Amino acid sequence: MTGPSRTRLERVRASVGIASLALQQIQDDLGADDVNAADLAAILRELSEDTDPPGGFIAALAQLLTVAARRAEQIEPDRDGDASCPLHEAAALITDDTGMRLIWAANSLDSQGVSA
């Protein structure tokens, strides 16, 4: 592995570690005994709605996979889509399926929290 690639991989590992810690904190908050329906709905909305980053966490994850897919398109040996297609599909599933299901669940838990 070359120097720049190793440094890049080390940065990715560190970033994944930070993201994992942040997700663990969210899991801990979700598991708290005092979380009620409105709290849970608000947390779910934070994951999927226009927050920081724009579009929410789910959109950011989908964008990450889309960038990976575009890069895979450029470097796939046979340009047959064996690598890029599953990445594009994963991004679409996250955006279309996961994001929508989070919103449905949040609205079911607390319809009053829906922005007008």
Burial code (b: 16+ CB inside 10 Å, e: under 16) for 91-113 equals beebbeeebeebbeebeebbeee
pLDDT for 116: 43
Do 110 and 37 touch, CB atoms closer than 8 A?
Answer: yes
Residue 58 in tokens: 């789910």
Alpha-carbon span 93 to 1, nearest angstrom: 33
Q: How confident is the model at residue 59 (pLDDT cuts 50, 70, 90)?
A: confident
Q: Which helix (H) or strand (E) holds 93?
A: helix 84-93
pLDDT for 87: 95
Q: Which helix (H) or strand (E) holds 9?
A: helix 3-30
The pLDDT tens digits for 75-109 are 988 888 899 999 999 999 988 888 888 889 999 99
